[in-house]
Structure 1
């Protein structure tokens, strides 16, 4: 067996020894590997169309229940300029159900949880003055077009937001932007401003373009220094911009390979998404000898959409009839 994994960022196999599976567990292990491979080979992510007719009955009931809960609120609630509990005599707004479905999907259609999340988001937007942030000059004009910015669309019409934090490896630049709590707060507000620009460019209608693409270049990013800012940005976006990102892509892909005990062959290549694109050899296939622990690290900067493919073949031994591997794909930071 020659298992091949594909992901972006690329998986990082990490184990020194695997416990010997019981006979009953062998089938589930191999089944899981096959299922994972099939999932990774899926053509592409397909976002929700937000068309009510395409929803299952249970989701439609959840949507109706959320509408009913919001109708009990005495004050009108609006997010991104979309009324979420309009008066009964108001004309229908097709954007309302799209926004409500985003909160429902973010909470797996648990109505009470989605309702609570929506109210927290509305309260945060009022306190943060999110509707006014688009018109503010936050003093980061020199970072626009470099650190975070909206530019262009993908083939399906999604607006694309680019992020590149490598500039902060320069200590003077880092101190200027993140030197104290006030500067960090202003940077977070600026990052929300960029996100609001992206959301305002969405159609928010059934069957329309309802999410953005996030592309993050991890090259030279000082991860330890930016951990606090990254965590706050991620928390803000997860809590207050549900289902607003169709895909996340890492322009610079990094991975680590840890081999324990078995001889194997390993190689890496980048496969462009465009039909007819040329596959790029990142690491030629080579033998990794059996050793207590072999460790490898590499990185690749992609210049076009695609996927990184790591090939691991440890089926060369005549004595070993079952090949097993583990991998972990970390969630990208915002």
Structure 2
């Protein structure tokens, strides 16, 4: 086997073939439910069968070796492409032709001034001149390389077009502009995902209101403003990124089509198509995933038609989920304390009790079983506050306070009730005890309970004060 590997390593035709295979492996789209190679080859009872002969074993080992070699080769080629890209960007900046050939009628003083300005050029706040030594430069350049499958010339042309577009579109000052004040609820930045990426929600159901839609798309000028507003939102998300080693350098976007009258909105469809093309051409690899939820059947047809305008890398960023799996899918990317309550999470707008820093716990309940959650309080004078959500709902729950003193009475806070929404409740603790929540799962499916609680000091409620009088 060592001899065979040495022969293939020295064979230039073999290297070329491996490089091609590598690109194919890199470009292959991954489904959100697709398992990795490691998961597929875990030791299952079938794989542990001792009757496997030596020939099968040899073929498996050989296959692993052939995968390892191209992987190393792929990394080397990527590093070489990055080095070549760095040199080309450096030369174009120092040679004053990154943004095109300079005007030949300019004076020497004006040309030198242009060169000094170009040396300070930045993209998304990151210097583009590699010799400045900023760690974010390579991260930005790699985004353009990945978007063009590490073809240096194409990545360089994409970078030039992006810089030219930003100059013409005047994106550097777009954050100070007041655009589309009436449609703020359509799109918002809200918290972060499990990896720290900024979350951007697009809620198209708001356009069911004809007045809102008319204010946004009532004329061609308003359509242009809405497109510019969409670019502005993207720039706001970029401001939250960190272009450094180990930093978060992409966003996660959620598109919600619940109650959306999309088929009747040709102006919105047109603007959305333009925005998608602009994002693809001028914001490479800045969107980690686009999770499409509550999408009706017609949307998939529209998406298939739009896919003709998307690159392979852009297509694989889309994640589609059925209405019954929305919460389950979003929780893969977003923690419960950061997921809004309308999607089954615990994050409430303008919440005075909890914040995304208050982490949630999780409890799994088997089918046809009962689970208990306890919130103990060792002393009186506190108000216990709790949040509760169940993925998939379809359970019943009961809340009660049980004092530590056996001579005291239990207090029923919430009688047995069918759970169909998030629960937020509180109770003033007048003596040591615990809040007990009983959850009955009468279905055959396993349920996930998301909850958190805290005890906060407070003044004595008025009814208790009057009772003591």
- What's the secondary structure of 2:270's corresponding residue? helix
Q: 1:40 to 1:181 in 2, by over 3 A?
A: same
Q: Could you tell me how far 1:281 is from its partner in structure 2?
A: 8.9
1:61-87: CA deviation from partner (whole Å, max 9, x where unpaired): 11111111112221344211211125x
Work out whether residues 269 and 281 of structure 1, in 8 Å CA contact, stay in contact via their aligned partners in 2: no
Work out whether residues 269 and 279 of structure 1, in 8 Å CA contact, stay in contact via their aligned partners in 2: no
TM-score for both structures, normalised by structure 2: 0.44
Work out whether residues 182 and 215 of structure 2, in 8 Å CA contact, stay in contact via their aligned partners in 1: no
Question: In the alignment, what sits opposite 1:82?
Answer: 126
Q: 1:54 to 1:161 in 2, by over 3 A?
A: farther
Over aligned residues, Cα RMSD in angstroms? 3.2
**Unmatched tracts of structure 2, length 5 or more:** 1-27, 37-71, 97-117, 301-321, 333-361, 365-389, 395-421, 423-469
Q: Name the larger-Rg structure.
A: 2
Question: In the alignment, what sits opposite 2:77?
Answer: 58
Work out whether residues 78 and 122 of structure 1, in 8 Å CA contact, stay in contact via their aligned partners in 2: no
- What's the secondary structure of 1:40's corresponding residue? coil
Q: 1:174 to 1:37 in 2, by over 3 A?
A: closer
Bigger share in helix = 2
Work out whether residues 207 and 213 of structure 2, in 8 Å CA contact, stay in contact via their aligned partners in 1: yes
Task: Give distance in 1, aligned partners of 2:252 and 2:31.
Answer: 24
Q: Trace 1:232-251 onto structure 2 (pairs within 5 A).
A: 232-251=274-293
Q: 1:117 to 1:172 in 2, by over 3 A?
A: same
Q: 1:227 to 1:209 in 2, by over 3 A?
A: same
Q: Could you tell me how far 1:111 is from its partner in structure 2?
A: 0.8
TM-score for both structures, normalised by structure 1: 0.61
Work out whether residues 106 and 242 of structure 1, in 8 Å CA contact, stay in contact via their aligned partners in 2: yes
Task: Give distance in 2, aligned partners of 1:220 and 1:54.
Answer: 49
Number of residue pairs matched? 226
Q: 1:216 to 1:94 in 2, by over 3 A?
A: same
Question: In the alignment, what sits opposite 1:327?
Answer: none
Q: Could you tell me how far 1:222 is from its partner in structure 2?
A: 2.9
Q: Could you tell me how far 1:165 is from its partner in structure 2?
A: 1.7
- What's the secondary structure of 1:109's corresponding residue? coil
Q: 1:210 to 1:54 in 2, by over 3 A?
A: farther
The answer on 1:69 being equivalent to 2:101 is: no
1:165-191: CA deviation from partner (whole Å, max 9, x where unpaired): 222223332222112211111111111
Question: In the alignment, what sits opposite 2:162?
Answer: 121
The answer on 1:228 being equivalent to 2:270 is: yes
Task: Give distance in 2, aligned partners of 1:56 and 1:231.
Answer: 35
1:84-126: CA deviation from partner (whole Å, max 9, x where unpaired): 125x4x3x10000000001111111111111111110000111
Question: In the alignment, what sits opposite 2:178?
Answer: 137
Task: Give distance in 1, aligned partners of 2:30 and 2:275.
Answer: 32
Question: In the alignment, what sits opposite 1:208?
Answer: 247
**Unmatched tracts of structure 1, length 5 or more:** 1-34, 44-52, 258-266, 283-302, 304-334
Q: Trace 1:37-56 onto structure 2 (pairs within 5 A).
A: 40-42=33-35, 56=75
Work out whether residues 78 and 84 of structure 1, in 8 Å CA contact, stay in contact via their aligned partners in 2: yes
Task: Give distance in 2, aligned partners of 1:147 and 1:180.
Answer: 19
Q: 1:93 to 1:42 in 2, by over 3 A?
A: same
Work out whether residues 268 and 281 of structure 1, in 8 Å CA contact, stay in contact via their aligned partners in 2: no
Task: Give distance in 1, aligned partners of 2:79 and 2:86.
Answer: 11
Q: Segments of 4+ in structure 1 off by > 4 A?
A: 35-39, 274-279
Question: In the alignment, what sits opposite 1:148?
Answer: 187
Q: 1:81 to 1:171 in 2, by over 3 A?
A: same
- What's the secondary structure of 2:188's corresponding residue? strand
Work out whether residues 183 and 212 of structure 2, in 8 Å CA contact, stay in contact via their aligned partners in 1: no
Q: 1:96 to 1:55 in 2, by over 3 A?
A: farther
The answer on 1:190 being equivalent to 2:233 is: no
Q: 1:190 to 1:37 in 2, by over 3 A?
A: closer
Work out whether residues 162 and 215 of structure 1, in 8 Å CA contact, stay in contact via their aligned partners in 2: yes
Q: Which has the higher contact order (CA 8 A, sep 6+)?
A: 1
